[in-house]
Structure 1
Amino acid sequence: MPSLRRRTLLTLAVAAVGGWALRGAQAWDESLLHSQMASRFGAAGSRRLQAWLEMLRTQSGLSVAQQLQAVNAFWNQQLLASEDLQIWNETDYWATPLESLGKGAGDCEDFVIGKFVSLVRLGVPAQNMRLIYVRARMGGIGSTQSIAHMVLGFYETPQAEPLVLDNLVSSIQLASLRTDLTPVFSFNAQGIYVRGERSAPSDRINRWQDLQQRMRKEGFDAL
């Protein structure tokens, strides 16, 4: 996400997570999801949507550890990493899971959104997850090149070291093992966290309402 602007990312992400956390798993209109996908993105998108729904059904009731692995692998395999300018002709666009699957591509926040929505759908408490804004070092050990990036963190307990779900690295690892990532801040419905301490509340913004409206039209229940 090279073009990511910190202020935009912060306000959009906090609002998004707040909405999901308040409602939890939703009753989706799968018939509408399928019809929206077919009309907008065709057969390839429909296949990816069906694969997502099947994955969620298969993972229902399994352990959180299994769900994390399955969800992380699914989104990393289904989406090609790209940039919003190339996918949507916009500098910063937050795609719905249906849109990401329809395009078969997304940037880092789209991977995170897809994983977050999937895990909430499976019953993982939203407060156990944070969207984490990081600087990701590129080019191996000793490189000074880095990009703005987003990953999903899963916290077994509030004080636990998070597991990192990332589209740059396929395996789920403890944060301490991801020495290529430098955290900047993280956020969830409970607030914004800097250096592990909550520094501000999570407020809603109008732009998140637009995303909710698009998701409702697609067949997702209101967030």
Structure 2
Amino acid sequence: MQHIYAVEKAFLIDFKRFERYIGQHTAAPVPLSSNWQALLLSASSLGVSEQLSAVNTFLHQSLTYMPDSMLYGVEDYWASPAELFARQKGDCEDWAIASYISLRALGIPDAQLRLVYVRAQVGPANSGLSQAHMVLAYYPDTEAEPLILDSLIQTILPASARTDLTPVFSFNSTGLWAGSGNQKSRQSATARLSRWRDLVQRLELQGVIL
């Protein structure tokens, strides 16, 4: 299980480099990285719906929520899967990014996945209160309603059922979109989003090539 190749040939995980990073950043070896590799291997033969469910369940069962301020000493840090698994703790962005990379590694094309920055409703529907949040959207095809994978709830639901979420923008490794529409920005997420650009650079050093 040294490498997992996606259908998109440009995508590769070098698990030797991945585990080397984890070994350098945790006091004692943890099985989470090995369990993730086993998940990707076992799910590689499944249908897409089962892959979504397998990745979603694994992350919900394996990770504990902790804000960036406590983990990294900053208000907002987008952790890589290696950083997330070394600590076994993270926030919504870390969870969504790990979901995205897991599904890419299973061969789901980038065009069918978007990381979505949203405002999530807090409290009663009429409270008007919301907080920044990130989820992962899977599009069965370009015209279909996306399914939402979310660290807040384990059930995967269509976007229309998530009335508590208001999209602000979405992106993947090839594009950037405003709101919930399909109007693609002329600039890529790597060009526009400094945290994504920084994350992509760290991913490459840790063995994940988008």
Query: TM-score with structure 1 length normalisation?
Result: 0.80
Other-structure match for 2:5 = none
Once the two structures are superposed, residues 182-209 of structure 1 have per-residue CA deviations (whole angstroms, 9 ceiling, x without a partner) of 2222223233133413152242339455
Match of 2:203 among 203, 208, 215: 215
Match of 2:79 among 79, 89, 95: 95
Which is helix-richer, 1 or 2? Answer: 1
Helix, strand or coil at the partner of 1:75: helix
Match of 1:116 among 94, 100, 103: 100
1:78 and 1:35, CA in 2 relative to 1: closer, same or farther beyond 3 A?
same
User: CA–CA distance in 1 between the matches of 2:20 and 2:179?
Assistant: 42
Q: CA RMSD in A?
A: 2.4
User: CA–CA distance in 2 between the matches of 1:38 and 1:184?
Assistant: 37
Match of 1:170 among 154, 165, 171: 154
* Contact 1:100 1:110 (C-alpha < 8 Å) held by counterparts: yes
Match of 1:33 among 12, 18, 25: 18
Question: Greater relative contact order (Cα 8 A, min sep 6): structure 1 or 2?
Answer: 1
Match of 1:48 among 9, 12, 32: 32
Other-structure match for 2:179 = 194
Helix, strand or coil at the partner of 1:118: helix
1:135 and 1:98, CA in 2 relative to 1: closer, same or farther beyond 3 A?
same
Aligned pairs, number: 201
* Contact 1:24 1:126 (C-alpha < 8 Å) held by counterparts: no
Once the two structures are superposed, residues 164-197 of structure 1 have per-residue CA deviations (whole angstroms, 9 ceiling, x without a partner) of 0000011100111112112222223233133413
Q: Structure 2: any 5+ residue segments left out of the alignment? A: 1-7
Query: TM-score with structure 2 length normalisation?
Result: 0.85
User: CA–CA distance in 2 between the matches of 1:89 and 1:191?
Assistant: 28
User: CA–CA distance in 2 between the matches of 1:113 and 1:103?
Assistant: 15
1:163 CA drift (Å): 0.3
Share of identical aligned residues, percent? 39
1:219 and 1:133, CA in 2 relative to 1: closer, same or farther beyond 3 A?
closer
Q: Structure 1: any 5+ residue segments left out of the alignment? A: 1-21
Other-structure match for 1:10 = none
